Amino acid sequence: MAKVIPNRVEMPRQDPEVRRRNFNEVALGFDMELARAEAERCLQCKKPLCIDGCPVEVRIPEFILKIQEGDMPGAVEILKGDNNLPAICGRVCPQETQCEEVCVLSKKYEPVAIGRLERFVADWDLARGMAIPELPPPTGKKVAVIGAGPAGLTCAADLARYGHAVTIFESLHKAGGVLIYGIPEFRLPKAVVKAEVDYVRQLGVDIRLDSVIGKLFTIDELLGEQGYDAMFLGTGAGLPRFMGIPGENYNGVYSANEFLTRTNLMKAYLFPEYDTPIKVKGRVAVVGGGNVAMDSARCALRLGNEEVTIVYRRSRVEMPARVEEAENAEEEGIIFELLTNPVEIYGDENGWVRGMRCIRMELGEPDDSGRRRPIPIPGSEFDTEVDIVVMAIGTSPNPLVFTDAGGLERTRWGTVVADEETGRTTKAGVWAGGDVVTGAATVISAMGAGKRAAADIDRFLRGEITVEGWD
Amino acid sequence: MYEILAREDLAPVTKLMVIAAPDVARKAKAGQFVIVRVAEEGERVPLTIADYDRNEGTITIIFQEVGKTTMHMGAMEVGDGLASFTGPLGNPTEIEHHGTVICAAGGVGIAPMFPIARALREAGNYVISIIGARNKELIFWEDKMRSVSDELIVCTDDGSYGRKAFVMDPLKELLETRDGIGHIWVIGPAIMMKFTALATRPFNVPTTVSLNSIMVDGTGMCGSCRVEVGGQTRFACVHGPEFDGHEVDWDLLLARQRIYLDEEKQALERWQAATGE
């Protein structure tokens, strides 16, 4: 009977006082000694529950066993066999609600730190130049993938490993999607994203940057005159949402997308070495309670703003952000104004933000999302001085891509209608997955969708299944 | 890398470049723009499409050296490459048969106006073009504009070339004296578009402007280019760049164009110090 080690190995991290002023990675990673100590905790269950908890079904106990045995190349082969982007997942997956939540140890003790071990194996492989698997002979089929975010990169990598020719069309000048513009450097170093993207290129995938589908080419053109045999849409949910309150267009009000894109993709934290600026003025209010709000707030701090406040309309329990990231934010000195919602933004005579009026909220009955509905408390309005406001209240799919895509059905929220198991849409020849289908969600669920669609596209391209109206 | 195939100094600070971008050229239409990045550390900036050649696979851009990025570009030579070139972005100009139309362009606004005037003429409109600038040096493409217009009026603020007038002066005269003017286009610096659009209002002729907001991605994902038109928030990059000039909140546009003045000055000084200009 394996011995239970109740507590997980601590992840070395940058001290909050230090890390709140730099963009370096907060979690420093295990070394071999720490990794093997954590790997020892895995009981190698005969019926592992963790695999089902993983959206891409990584063979978790198997790769952990390899770490226990000291066979790192073996661990890499298993991990990368199931997950094309493990250095990313090991860092940003909410393992605490996935594999680690169902780990048998979590009942009475701390679950195995599966995510940290995944990161360790992935980083080990990355440092050694990443082994490229052998590819099968080309099938002669070609697939267009729209979007080089987590869904598109995963789908493309799997399709390439099945032997198909894949071209990814990416609208920005760098590949990665949210991995490159949204998630900050201190959670996900861009060098790691670049290495994982390069791996996908090395599998033979052609990534065409600066290519806005809906403008440069349309979906119908790619399927028609450009002759692609199938298409995967992974364009995400990149359309920012604003509250629609007065004053939202004053200078100094940003969507989280703009704030994060300037900071992370365009490296505004390195201005003037990098040309893109971002305003740094002192007091920042970030409206929202998800991971994007946490990321925006922690970036605002690191950019040099003195006081950063999260303003969220529900309570801590309802916040969708990862508990770990909310705790990191708190440790770094970010203030949480919960059960509070802005109602108006004030500006000065030159058009700059100078303050905000907020109202206190209380929680009523649950709404559609199952969370208790926030209700404004009449008469509880108060004014606060602020210099910058970041709206991190959600995003939806960018409609540009749907120009000339006849027959592609969408919901009233702008998301694409697609089968959850296969990714098939209502448009013949087109599969879709990730945020463009689900609305804003996680990197790993996008990857799972990319994987499932790749498998279905592969079956179709081999003639094992048929798709109505397309051949 | 998007290669610079040709370049021309239209004026000491006004540069023309022909860029190799076959897929963009295939799709480009009058009224659209591209987002350009000069180098790895460069910012993303919108530049209007001045011309396109679908056969040669090229896009022509014209810009004035006003800050670090445009000066950096202006210093590049034939054979150099731009780090990124994304397009064609924005909605193309709606080209219809109106009868008589007026195309009023100020300064570097002449560049995007050229393909618009050409398309309007090809659609059977009688095109009266007005081009204006602060002085003679800043006037360019007079012959090209003449070639796509039925009438051309040239003016300068200081009278150093053509008529001494602002663009809106001959424009008002035309509105007062001619019948059947169906639509007006006004493109130039925001302050010029503001006052010129105000001048056409009493005549009740639909007036389209092209807004030059600050942009980052240019595809609708960030909202940097937010403008207010008819009281509604719009993104210039995907809802525009053309809008009804009588409905635009000009003061908001002008305020938002000033957001990074301090940083722009800092970047410019750093560039000038580094290049010894």
Inter-CA distances, A311 with A29, A336, A384, Å: 31, 6, 11
> Out of B86, B228, B238, whose CB is closest to A249?
B228
Q: Please check whether residue B77 touches A, CB under 8 A.
A: no
Peptide bond between residue B88 and the one before it cis (omega within 30 degrees of 0): yes
Distance, CA of A283 to CA of A297 (rounded, Å): 11
Residue B219 has pLDDT above 90, yes or no: yes
Residues in Cβ contact with B72 at an 8 Å cutoff, skipping those fewer than 6 apart: B38, B39, B42, B271
At B106-153, the pLDDT tens digits run: 999 999 999 999 999 999 999 999 999 999 999 999 999 999 999 999
Q: What is the pLDDT of residue A407?
A: 93
Q: Please check whether residue B222 touches A, CB under 8 A.
A: yes
Q: A216, B233: Cβ pair inside 8 Å?
A: no
Pick the residue of B19, B45, B86 with the most A CBs within 10 A to test the interface with A by mutation: B86
At A260-304, the pLDDT tens digits run: 999 999 999 999 999 999 999 999 999 999 999 999 999 999 999
Instruction: Please give the single-letter amino acid code of residue A187.
Output: R
Confidence of residue A1 (pLDDT cuts 50, 70, 90): low
> Out of B27, B87, B216, whose CB is closest to A258?
B216
**Looking at beta carbons, which residues of chain A come within 8 Å of B89?**
212, 215
Give ipTM to 2 decimals. 0.96
Q: A257, B238: Cβ pair inside 8 Å?
A: no
At B50-80, the pLDDT tens digits run: 999 999 999 999 999 999 999 999 999 999 9
Residue B156 has pLDDT above 70, yes or no: yes
Distance, CA of A397 to CA of B185 (rounded, Å): 33
Q: What is the pLDDT of residue A468?
A: 79
Confidence of residue A457 (pLDDT cuts 50, 70, 90): very high
At B18-44, the pLDDT tens digits run: 999 999 999 999 999 999 999 999 999
At A307-339, the pLDDT tens digits run: 999 999 999 999 999 998 999 999 999 999 999
Residue A2 has pLDDT above 70, yes or no: no
Residues in Cβ contact with B58 at an 8 Å cutoff, skipping those fewer than 6 apart: B5, B18, B19, B20, B21, B22, B25, B52
Q: Please check whether residue B23 touches A, CB under 8 A.
A: yes
Three-state secondary-structure class, residue A191 = helix
Q: What is the pLDDT of residue A25?
A: 95
**Looking at beta carbons, which residues of chain B come within 8 Å of A276?**
43-44, 216
Task: Report how many Cβ contacts below 8 Å link chain A to chain B.
Answer: 111
Structure-token pair, residue A436: 């463009």
Confidence of residue A132 (pLDDT cuts 50, 70, 90): confident
DSSP string, chain B: -EEEEEEEEEETTEEEEEEE-HHHHHH--TT-EEEEE-STTPPPEEEEEEEEETTTTEEEEEEE--SHHHHHHHT--TT-EESEEEEEESPPP-----SEEEEEEEGGGHHHHHHHHHHHHHTT-EEEEEEEESSGGG---HHHHHHT-SEEEEEETTSSSSEES-THHHHHHHHHH-S-EEEEEEESSHHHHHHHHHHHGGGT--EEEE-----SSSSSSS-TTEEEETTEEEETTTT-SEEETTTB-HHHHHHHTTTTHHHHHHHHHHHHHHHT-
Cβ-contact A278, A268 below 8 angstroms:
yes
State the average pLDDT over residues A357-381. 92
Residue A45 has pLDDT above 80, yes or no: yes
Residue A368 has pLDDT above 90, yes or no: no
Q: A351, B255: Cβ pair inside 8 Å?
A: yes
**Looking at beta carbons, which residues of chain B come within 8 Å of A215?**
27, 87-89, 219
At A111-125, the pLDDT tens digits run: 999 999 999 999 999
Shortest alpha-carbon distance between residue B140 and chain A (Å): 29
Q: What is the pLDDT of residue A465?
A: 87
Instruction: Please give the single-letter amino acid code of residue A8.
Output: R
Residue A225 has pLDDT above 60, yes or no: yes
Q: Please check whether residue B260 touches A, CB under 8 A.
A: yes
End-to-end CA distance of chain A: 56
Q: Please check whether residue A22 touches B, CB under 8 A.
A: no
**Looking at beta carbons, which residues of chain B come within 8 Å of A258?**
216, 222-224
> Out of A249, A252, A276, whose CB is closest to B43?
A276
Confidence of residue B277 (pLDDT cuts 50, 70, 90): low
Structure-token pair, residue A438: 């689900």
The single-letter DSSP state of residue A169 is E
State the average pLDDT over residues A192-215. 96
Cβ-contact A181, A265 below 8 angstroms:
yes
Shortest alpha-carbon distance between residue A398 and chain B (Å): 7
Q: What is the pLDDT of residue A467?
A: 81
- Output the pTM of the full model: 0.95
| Residue of A423, A185, A461 lying closest to A298 (CA atoms) | A185
Q: What is the pLDDT of residue A471?
A: 65
Residue A369 has pLDDT above 80, yes or no: no
Residue A240 has pLDDT above 90, yes or no: yes
What's the gap between Cα A101 and its chain centre?
Answer: 19
State the average pLDDT over residues A56-74. 96
Looking at the DSSP assignment, which residues form a beta bridge with residue A177? Answer: none
